[in-house]
Amino acid sequence: MIPDTETVRARWARVQHHLRADGVDAMVVVKPQNTFYLSGYTPMIYSHPVLVVLPAEGEPVFILHALRAHSSRTVSRISDIRPYGRWAKEIGPDHWWQVLAGVMAERGLGDARIGIEGEFLPVNYQRRLELTLPGAVFSDTGQALMRARYVKDAAELESLRVACEIADAGMDAALEAVAARRSEVEVSSAAMRTMQEVWSSLHPDRLAMDFGNLEGGVFNALWAYSLVGDRVPMNSAPPTSRRPVDGEIQWTVIWTAIDGMHAENERSVAVGPLPAERQRAFEALLAIRAEVQPVLRPGLTCAEVYEAARESYVRHGYGDYLPGRIGHGLGLGPHEQPSLGPNDDLVLEPGMTLTFEPNLRIPSFGGLQHSDSLVITEDGHELLTHTRRDLIQV
Amino acid sequence: MIPDTETVRARWARVQHHLRADGVDAMVVVKPQNTFYLSGYTPMIYSHPVLVVLPAEGEPVFILHALRAHSSRTVSRISDIRPYGRWAKEIGPDHWWQVLAGVMAERGLGDARIGIEGEFLPVNYQRRLELTLPGAVFSDTGQALMRARYVKDAAELESLRVACEIADAGMDAALEAVAARRSEVEVSSAAMRTMQEVWSSLHPDRLAMDFGNLEGGVFNALWAYSLVGDRVPMNSAPPTSRRPVDGEIQWTVIWTAIDGMHAENERSVAVGPLPAERQRAFEALLAIRAEVQPVLRPGLTCAEVYEAARESYVRHGYGDYLPGRIGHGLGLGPHEQPSLGPNDDLVLEPGMTLTFEPNLRIPSFGGLQHSDSLVITEDGHELLTHTRRDLIQV
């Protein structure tokens, strides 16, 4: 579902505000998440560079391959589309940088201060920018753009709610498969098939998509993996044929992305009755969650939330197992700022979307982690994933 | 399924051969596909940089976050693993560049000629490399590494065969859904669910995975989309609730990635009897495919194959619709070299893997394209996808 023009124009204004604060005259945006944010258009496959030129004042320009000219014209909220390359009867200059040079000259930005995405833009692209605009001065304004994306707009929150609904359905299927003592792969696949069904039958006009890199695209964002017992501390690892045995803990991770917005739902499950050490750890983790959760409210910094968690871990005797953070931002990327860790002074604001996921990784038996997606509200937060969060035993 | 140590060591030797030819002393490899190729290990989520230092002679070193130390030790074919950051009791220097500085000093590579991936490495990483190794000289050796990956080894071909088998199963499900006049989304989702079933029940020891970018990961590589009628010329676009009507052509694209190796299977399908213009175009495309396919054999350049296609398009009266290329390399990326286009002088060799996908995009009614995955053999090629390739009508 493509956000309306008004929504996208408000995004331009937010980013432009931060660009002016950073003292640049324009930003050349290449990262797929960001060009999607500013245009509402994704080619899905990023085999040919897609660029948005966003001046600090005025309308942006979209530069993309002739191959994408037709589809972008039907969808993009940026109306000034300039193709490069050839595709059937659509013929532009051979290269994106030739189009860029023309746009910058036309806008009087040839010798301007230009922002780029330093954490993303490949070296060769930067060299090409420098050759194309020899009088320009470049600086990294990736953070300026990211700051504009912290607080989500109504369209993003709507997409996130759908992403969470699908993630919940996937988790229901995963819990059922764990109860049947299925393997890591079977649990993962059961969740993914269910999410496909829910997406295609209930939300077919939403995009189930993720973002690729500059070489190719990756798109199928209804994703799950599951790890058992001593494999949990691997954190992220391809699932295997390993099945749980009684007394183990199985951990399932679900990530969905709807209209690009990422949701997360993770649950640890006791397979049969747990030995005492595991039972105690699971109960402690639930107590820590209960103590820290009320602190997720506007006005506090991420570091203050983390400090509350630290105290709670120590109080329950698990100070040695305090993770590096207990949650992270959700947006067009699966891991965004803010980070609920010790060094983030960002103040939580209504409209920010986060995961809440304190964990215990205990080498002797594995690990425990429930993760929920939430949005900060005027007076606290709202959990957007709804799977039961207690000591789940199957 | 992780390739054995011998296979991975042969990959090092191939890349090192090209690095020496390019005149560098070592390469710092960051692109996920490439670090996977050289190690057999993927963390799936690339939230923290993963680096391989491959000297032009000798053993490589793996640099990754402490969070991945445990899982990489159980899987990686590079045995020299140096973690940075902290994760439970695993504690390294804070940053990857501190570890890198130590490794380079130890190997006498502090002032060396260093290769980087210019098309991938972000500007800020390159700045960090320059600060860390002020005496080093950097050059782009991304192509050297890519050249080493052109000819696939036995492990890669085995993975590709499984990727093709799953893609074929997905296409069978898609064709059935098209026959039932389902929507673009329903056709796509039916294919994806079937591929999940085939992967999880028949190939659970294989990784169904794709590669993300530096921010996050994307993993679920059993992917399909379908476009109907006038939507086909969009080439890649999110599927919608649009259903076909009789006389239209529906085009379904399936991409799978097994153990990272990408396969492609695409089919155009006539929904009911076609009007004369479409029928004629479909027959012409099949004739073009039949004429060009025998040219896919070792010893010819990509440009020669393309020239054969050009002649065939002209002969059948579709010279105006000649696409920019009629196939592309398949590997750890979905679109790799070689490109079956006019400007590629690369000579086809046994073991290279490609798509074969001449197409006709005709604005008045949409487009037509079958795509198969294949491997170049000693005396020609072997098609690895097996869905029927005639004028499919449902």
CA distance A173 to A60: 44
B196 and A CB contact within 8 Å: yes
Domain boundaries, chain A: 5-149, 154-383
Q: Give the per-residue pLDDT at B259.
A: 82
Whether A11 contacts A148, CB under 8 Å: yes
Our CA-based measurement puts residue A378 at a distance from the nearest CA of chain B, in whole angstroms, of 29
Q: How far is CA A224 from CA A163, A177, A193, A288, A327, in A?
A: 13, 13, 10, 26, 19
Q: Give the per-residue pLDDT at B214.
A: 53
DSSP string, B365-384: TEEEE-BEEEEEETTEEEE-
| Chosen CATH of B154-383 out of 3.40.50.2300, 3.40.630.10, 3.90.230.10, 3.90.550.10 | 3.90.230.10
Contact criterion met (CB < 8 Å) for A219 and B223: yes
CA distance A238 to A77: 38
Q: Give the per-residue pLDDT at A333.
A: 80
Q: Which residue type, as a one-letter code, is found at position A106? A: E
B121 and A CB contact within 8 Å: yes
Cis amide prior to B338 (ω within 30 degrees): yes
pLDDT confidence tier of residue A212, bands split at 50, 70 and 90: low
Contact criterion met (CB < 8 Å) for B222 and A220: yes
Residues A289-324: tens digit of each pLDDT:
999 999 999 999 999 999 999 999 999 999 999 988
In the predicted structure, residue A182 carries a pLDDT above the cut 80: yes
Q: Give the per-residue pLDDT at B338.
A: 87
Tokens (6 digits) for A58: 């005025």
B88 and A CB contact within 8 Å: yes
User: CATH topology of A5-149 equal to that of A154-383?
Assistant: no
Whether A64 contacts A48, CB under 8 Å: yes
Q: How far apart are the first and last CA of chain B?
A: 38
Whether A323 contacts A359, CB under 8 Å: yes
| B35 vs A43 pLDDT, higher one | B35
Q: Give the per-residue pLDDT at B332.
A: 83
| A351 vs B89 pLDDT, higher one | A351
A324 and B CB contact within 8 Å: yes
Query: Smallest Cα–Cα separation from A30: which of A117, A139, A150, A119?
Result: A117
Query: Smallest Cα–Cα separation from A189: which of A220, A160, A232, A229?
Result: A220
Query: DSSP secondary-structure letter at B150?
Result: S
User: 């993720």: which residue's tokens?
Assistant: A210
Q: Give the per-residue pLDDT at B207.
A: 83
Q: How far is CA A133 from the centre of its chain?
A: 32
pLDDT confidence tier of residue A204, bands split at 50, 70 and 90: confident
| A208 vs A202 pLDDT, higher one | A202
Contact criterion met (CB < 8 Å) for A335 and B47: yes
Residues A117-158: tens digit of each pLDDT:
999 999 999 999 999 999 999 999 999 999 999 999 999 999
Q: Give the per-residue pLDDT at A47.
A: 81
pLDDT confidence tier of residue A288, bands split at 50, 70 and 90: very high
Q: Give the mean pLDDT of chain A.
A: 92
Q: What ipTM was estimated for this complex?
A: 0.89
Q: What is the mean pLDDT of each run of 10 residues along chain B (394 residues)?
A: 92 98 97 93 86 97 93 94 87 96 96 96 96 97 94 92 91 95 94 91 85 57 87 86 95 87 93 96 98 97 97 96 92 86 93 96 90 97 96 96
Query: Smallest Cα–Cα separation from B117: which of A213, A211, A134, A31?
Result: A213
Query: DSSP secondary-structure letter at B247?
Result: T
Burial class (CB in 10 A: 0-12, 13-18, 19+), B143: middle
Nearest to B118 among A122, A140, A237 (CB): A122
Q: What is the dihedral of CA A272, A273, A277, A283, to 10 degrees?
A: 90
In the predicted structure, residue A336 carries a pLDDT above the cut 60: yes
Nearest to B223 among A68, A220, A234 (CB): A220
Q: How far is CA B123 from CA A138, A139, A164, B127, in A?
A: 11, 10, 35, 6
Q: Give the per-residue pLDDT at B206.
A: 85
A367 and B CB contact within 8 Å: no
pLDDT confidence tier of residue A331, bands split at 50, 70 and 90: confident
- What is the edge-to-edge ordering of all strands in the sheet holding B249-258? B223-228, B249-258, B261-270
Q: Give the per-residue pLDDT at A258.
A: 83
Give the whole-number percent of chain A exceeding pLDDT 70. Answer: 97
Tokens (6 digits) for B22: 């390019």
Q: Can you name the CATH fold of B5-149?
A: Creatine Amidinohydrolase; Chain A, domain 1 (3.40.350)
